[in-house]
Structure 1
Amino acid sequence: MPVLVLTAQVAASLPSLRPSRLPARRPSLAVLVPAHDEAGLIAGTVAALRPGLAPGDRLLVVADNCRDATAAAARAAGAEVVERHDPSRRGKGYALDFGFRHLARSALPETLVVVDADCTLAPACLDRIARLSAALDAPVQAAYRLEPPPQASSALRLATFATVLKQIGRPLGSSRLGWPCGISGTGFAVPTRLLGTVGLANGHLAEDLKLGLDLALAGHPPRFCPEAEVVSVLPAGAAARRAQQTRWEHGHLSLIPPYAAALIRAGLHRGDARLVAMALDLCVLPLVTLGLAEAGLLVAALAWWALGGGSVPLLIAGTSLALLLLAFGLAVPRWGRGLLGWRDALALPGLVAGKTGILARFAVRRQSEWVRTERAGEGPSAR
Structure 2
Amino acid sequence: MIAVFILFLLANLALLVPASVFAIEVLAGATRRGHAPAALPGRRPGVAVLVPAHQEEAGIGETVTALRAQLGPADRLLVVADNCSDKTAALARSAGAEVVERRDPDRRGKGYALDFGVRHLEASPPEIVLIVDADCTLAAGAIDRLAVEAVASRRPVQGCYLMAVPPGGGIGMQVAEFAFLVKNRVRPAGLHRLGLPCHLTGTGMAFPWAVLRDADLAHGSLVEDMKLGLDLAMKGTAPRYCESARIHSYFPYSQTGAATQRRRWEEGHLGLLALAFSRLPGALAARQPGSVALTLDILVPPLTLLLLFVGAAWLVTGAATLMLGLPALAWVIASANLVLLLLALALAWHVFGRAVLPARALVLVVPYILQKLRLYGRMALGSRSRGALPERARGGGCPAARGRLHDDHARLHPRLYRLYARGLFTSGNRLF
TM-score bucket (shorter structure): over 0.9
Is the aligned partner of 1:336 residue 2:362?
A: no
Q: Distance in 1 between matches of 2:130 and 2:386?
A: 25
Residues 281-332 of structure 1: per-residue CA shift (max 9 Å, x gap): 1111222111001012112312331223222111111110011110111011
Identity within the alignment, %: 44
Checking the alignment, whether the CA contact within 8 Å between 1:204 and 1:370 is kept in structure 2 is no
Checking the alignment, whether the CA contact within 8 Å between 2:276 and 2:299 is kept in structure 1 is no
Aligned to 1:308: 325
TM-score, normalisation: structure 1: 0.95
Match of 2:282 among 255, 259, 266: 266
1:161-180 alignment, distance < 5 Å: 161-180=178-197
Deviation at 1:368, TM superposition (A): 5.9
Can you give the 5+ residue segments of structure 2 that lack an aligned partner in the other structure?
1-16, 396-425
Q: Distance in 1 between matches of 2:138 and 2:282?
A: 34
Match of 2:229 among 212, 217, 225: 212
More deviation, 373-382/285-294: 373-382
Deviation at 1:260, TM superposition (A): 3.6
Checking the alignment, whether the CA contact within 8 Å between 1:140 and 1:225 is kept in structure 2 is yes
Report SS of the residue matched to 2:242. Answer: strand
Q: Distance in 2 between matches of 1:152 and 1:381?
A: 19
Can you give the 5+ residue segments of structure 1 that lack an aligned partner in the other structure?
none
Match of 2:300 among 265, 284, 287: 284
Deviation at 1:160, TM superposition (A): 0.8
| Matching residue's letter, 1:270 | A
Residues 345-379 of structure 1: per-residue CA shift (max 9 Å, x gap): 13212221232233223322253643332122345
Q: Distance in 2 between matches of 1:331 and 1:206?
A: 24
| Matching residue's letter, 2:174 | R
Query: What number of residue pairs does the alignment pair up?
Result: 381
Aligned to 1:58: 76
Q: Distance in 2 between matches of 1:366 and 1:23?
A: 50
Q: Distance in 2 between matches of 1:207 and 1:368?
A: 16
1:1-383 alignment, distance < 5 Å: 1-15=17-31, 16-18=33-35, 19-104=37-122, 106-262=123-279, 264-305=280-321, 306-365=323-382, 367=384, 369-378=386-395, 380-381=427-428
More deviation, 72-81/20-29: 20-29
Q: CA 1:20/1:176 → structure 2, altered by over 3 Å: closer, same or farther?
A: farther
Residues 56-102 of structure 1: per-residue CA shift (max 9 Å, x gap): 21100111111211111111111111111111111100000011111
TM-score, normalisation: structure 2: 0.85
Larger radius of gyration between Structure 1 and Structure 2: 2
Deviation at 1:9, TM superposition (A): 1.1
Deviation at 1:380, TM superposition (A): 4.7
Q: Distance in 2 between matches of 1:280 and 1:20?
A: 31
More deviation, 297-306/109-118: 297-306
Deviation at 1:123, TM superposition (A): 4.5
Deviation at 1:209, TM superposition (A): 1.1
Checking the alignment, whether the CA contact within 8 Å between 2:392 and 2:428 is kept in structure 1 is no
Residues 258-290 of structure 1: per-residue CA shift (max 9 Å, x gap): 12431x223222222221111111111222111
Residues 139-188 of structure 1: per-residue CA shift (max 9 Å, x gap): 10000011111133222212111111111111001100111110000001
